[in-house]
Amino acid sequence: MHALVFIKQVPDASQVRINYETGTLIREGVPAILNPYEVHAVEEAVKIKQKFGGKVTILTMGPLQAADALKECLSRGADKGYLLSDRIFAGSDTLATSYALYEGAKKIIELEGEIDFFFAGKQAIDGDTAQTGPGIATRFNIPLVTYLTKLDEVNLEEKYVVATRLTEFGQETLKVPIPVFFTVEESLNILSHSPLPWLVKAAQSKIEILSGENVDLDKNQCGLRNSPTIVKKAFTPEKKQRGATLTGTFDEVVDQAAEKVAPFLNNIL
Amino acid sequence: MIDLNKIDSDISHYKDIWVFIEQTNGQAEHVSFELLTKARELASQRNCHVAAVAVGNSVAHLAEDVFKYGAEKFYIVEDEVLKDYRTEPYRDAVSELVVKYKPEIFLIGATTQGRDLSGTVATVLRTGLTADTTKQEIDQETGFLWMTRPTFGGSLMATIFCPKHRPQMSTVRPGVFKAIPLDAPVNGEIIEIIREKIEFSEEDVVKKILKKVISSEGNVTLGFYDVIVSGGKGMGNKENFNMLKELADLLGGTWAGSRKAVELGYIPQTRQVGQTGQTVHPKLYIACGISGAIQHLVGMQTSEIIIAINTDKDAPIFNVSTYCIVEDALKFVPKLIEELKGMQSTRRAQ
Ligand SMILES: Cc1cc2nc3c(=O)[nH]c(=O)nc-3n(C[C@H](O)[C@H](O)[C@H](O)COP(=O)(O)OP(=O)(O)OC[C@H]3O[C@@H](n4cnc5c(N)ncnc54)[C@H](O)[C@@H]3O)c2cc1C
């Protein structure tokens, strides 16, 4: 069994603050974290490995600091981390990113062998696009299962899985052949604590760096220049003015509130 | 999948605005009509037509509604294989249509299905996709579509465009635009259903659906309501939401809540407002015991009137509120209900 998990290091979006004067984000001091959905993707891949044997490989694209996120995955039981890092990828939109990661994954197949399970988070908390996973799956032309909430059955002999995913109305359970691409929800599993030896091993392991030269790249599909979408401007949302505070005694405030909402009162009874 | 050589790269060949009509068991999703309404406005600026696309085993009957909301053409692919949504055959059907008919703009609802589909279709077509947009406008000078979306959990907005690839694709959250039917169906324009035959065989589709579970809460479309009474962690427990339901009933609206309310089990996820929930813009939004985190605000701050009830006078929710009430919601709401009931019975007596 070989699972490949695509991860992303992201700024902790919940700690990003706005400077309304300059209209920019205050990113200083905001920690970089492993995208929360991907923590669960790694957990699931490691669970499969514990049951069937095999290995879990991690791939990310980003600056050299992203190695920290890969190390976290290793401490959670993954076997090897690859970092695709090159200036040529800078400014990639989702189409260019899925291209780069697709080529990166092909390289990993060459180095580490065929892949049965591809995993990614359902989306990254900084961009929230939910496109990179589907993009990679499409390029490989393998079945895609987004919003995975449960891996009901894994059958390596007959090469299929039974998987449950979220839909607009509830859930659906699918039978899908291997290889398969999952993007996962946080509810997929409950995180376990890493045993000490994993932590030690992670601290000692080396992250493999892949540059643009190491993978078979069509440079005309990489980076800002070859991204179909262009950011025209970025701005902070308009700050609304705080409205009136209703004042007076408790009963007076109730009266005022009742007056404000009275026009909506449902008269049909 | 589509042969890449079949994709026309001359962008001047692409015309008209398409809307994907999402349907389940022959029922169209409301967001599709919201998008048709928006498409009408964009088309009048672009001087082009609006068309709708649907894929399924039986979708032709949707034509009536589709035309009512302003589509002038309705492209359909019907096949038993397409009965339930599955990524791969839907992807192939939709990309096939795009390659053949070349729309300039393609709008899809940012639902679970729409997000799943759009990411794969855009990859097949090697075009740009802007996800989860909240604003769409045509740049007068270039005629390009400007798409604005929140990023960083709503802290930052980005306006994105796609100058050199077609179609310009984007997903739009349900509830962002209003669905407004035409007074009379489009006049003097071509209204036609174009049936496209694409060969599918069930054997080629490797993914099989074993079971579907409809959650007991079903699909709550908060966007339908003019009044939403919403609660957060400050409501303390699930039972206390009964007062919010009662208030919502009195005002002819519905109830909802924050993500913390979901996490604490007070309300189902289907009623969550915000970045990872639904976007709403009712006439009246009453927030009870909600602090007003940015991820919550992006889902509700465009409501016409916002009334917040919070014990903390500095709660961020007050910064977007029309009326601020610094009180304990658990005491305030029952009193308000009592008062409103009083008003109601006097009205009826009159
Ligand atoms: C990636 C991401 C996505 C997210 N998506 C969403 C989303 O879609 N929607 C969403 O809502 N959140 C979302 N969140 C969570 C968000 O950051 C906040 O944690 C959440 O909105 C807080 O919910 P709350 O206001 O109910 O709780 P709290 O922030 O804990 O606030 C409770 C409030 O209740 C007040 N209070 C307490 N008791 C009373 C009382 N008796 N009467 C009146 N007031 C009282 C308190 O003063 C406080 O202001 C997301 C977070 C992340 C990281």
pLDDT score of A139: 97
- Overall average pLDDT of the B262-284 stretch: 90
- Overall average pLDDT of the A127-143 stretch: 94
Beta-sheet pairing, B145-151 with A117-121: unpaired
A240-259: pLDDT as tens digits: 789 999 999 999 999 999 99
A260 CB neighbours in chain B (<8 A) are 305, 307, 323
Cβ–ligand 1 contact at B329 (below 6 Å):
yes
Of A27-31, A189-193, A219-223, B28-32, the one with minimum mean pLDDT is A27-31
A227/B283 Cβ within 8 A: no
pLDDT band at B1 (very low <50, low <70, confident <90, very high): confident
The answer to whether residue A30 scores a pLDDT higher than 90 is no
Identical fold, B4-204 and B222-349 = yes
B 152-171 → A contacts, CB under 8 A: 152-165
Is A242 in contact with B318 (CB distance < 8 Å)? yes
B 246-305 → A contacts, CB under 8 A: 249-253, 275, 283-284, 286, 293, 295, 298, 301, 305
A175 CB neighbours in chain B (<8 A) are 207-208, 210
* Separation of alpha carbons A174 and A183, rounded Å: 14
- Overall average pLDDT of the A165-190 stretch: 93
Residue in B closest to A145 by C-alpha: B87
Looking at chain B, the whole-number percentage of residues with pLDDT higher than 90 is: 78
B112 CB neighbours in chain A (<8 A) are 146-147, 166-168
How many alpha carbons lie under 13 Å from residue A112 in its C-beta half-sphere? 22
Cβ–ligand 1 contact at B315 (below 6 Å):
yes
The answer to whether residue B188 scores a pLDDT higher than 60 is no
Question: What's the complex ipTM?
Answer: 0.90
Q: Which CATH number fits domain B222-349: 3.80.10.10, 3.10.350.10, 3.30.465.10, 3.40.50.1220?
A: 3.40.50.1220
Higher pLDDT, A237 or A147: A147
- For ligand 1, the distance from its centroid to the CA atom of residue B263, given in whole angstroms, is 10
Q: What rounded mean pLDDT belongs to chain A?
A: 93
CA distance B37 to chain A (A): 22
CATH superfamily assigned to domain B4-204: HUPs (3.40.50.620)
B93-121: pLDDT as tens digits: 999 999 999 999 999 999 999 999 999 99
- For ligand 1, the distance from its centroid to the CA atom of residue A18, given in whole angstroms, is 18
- Asked if B339 has any chain A CB less than 8 Å from its own CB, the reply is yes
Q: Which of B73, B75, B70 is nearest to B185 (CA)?
A: B70
Residue in A closest to B158 by C-alpha: A234
Nearest residue (CA) to ligand 1, atom 53: A14
Q: Who among A25, A95, A266 is closest to B128 (CB)? A: A95
CB atoms within 10 A of CB B320: 23
- Overall average pLDDT of the A212-226 stretch: 94
Determine the distance from the C-alpha atom of residue B43 to the mean position of all C-alpha atoms in its chain, rounded to a whole number: 20
The answer to whether residue A17 scores a pLDDT higher than 80 is no
Ligand 1 atom closest to the CA of B274, numbered from 1: 8
Cβ–ligand 1 contact at B153 (below 6 Å):
yes
Of A24-28, A192-196, A198-202, B64-68, the one with minimum mean pLDDT is A24-28
- Overall average pLDDT of the B41-63 stretch: 95
- Asked if B4 has any chain A CB less than 8 Å from its own CB, the reply is no
Looking at chain A, the whole-number percentage of residues with pLDDT higher than 70 is: 96
Q: Which residue has the tokens 């923590």?
A: A39
* Separation of alpha carbons A268 and B250, rounded Å: 10
- Among B233, B263, B328, the mutation site with the greatest number of ligand 1 atoms within 8 A of its Cβ is B233
A vs B, Cβ pairs < 8 A, gives 258
Q: Where are the domains of chain A?
A: 2-226
- For ligand 1, the distance from its centroid to the CA atom of residue B345, given in whole angstroms, is 35
- Overall average pLDDT of the A28-40 stretch: 91
The answer to whether residue B144 scores a pLDDT higher than 90 is yes
Residue B179 pairs in a beta bridge with: none
* Separation of alpha carbons A67 and A207, rounded Å: 7
pLDDT score of B151: 84
pLDDT score of B186: 63
Nearest residue (CA) to ligand 1, atom 12: B259
- Asked if B312 has any chain A CB less than 8 Å from its own CB, the reply is no
- Overall average pLDDT of the B179-206 stretch: 83
A251 CB neighbours in chain B (<8 A) are 335
Interface test with B, best of A95, A123, A141, A161 (most B CBs within 10 A): A95
The answer to whether residue A268 scores a pLDDT higher than 60 is no
pLDDT score of B298: 86
Q: Domain A2-226's class?
A: alpha beta
- Asked if B197 has any chain A CB less than 8 Å from its own CB, the reply is no
Residue in A closest to B317 by C-alpha: A242
pLDDT band at A22 (very low <50, low <70, confident <90, very high): low
Q: Which residue has the tokens 């994954």?
A: A105
pLDDT score of A269: 44
The answer to whether residue B215 scores a pLDDT higher than 80 is no
pLDDT band at B218 (very low <50, low <70, confident <90, very high): low
pLDDT score of B217: 63
Of B237-246, B276-285, B321-330, the one with minimum mean pLDDT is B276-285
- Overall average pLDDT of the B108-136 stretch: 96
Instruction: List Cα–Cα distances, B127 to A144, A218, B15, B51, B163, in angstroms.
Output: 19, 17, 15, 19, 10
Q: Where are the domains of chain B?
A: 4-204, 222-349
The vertex-A107 CA angle with A10 and A4, nearest 5°, equals: 50
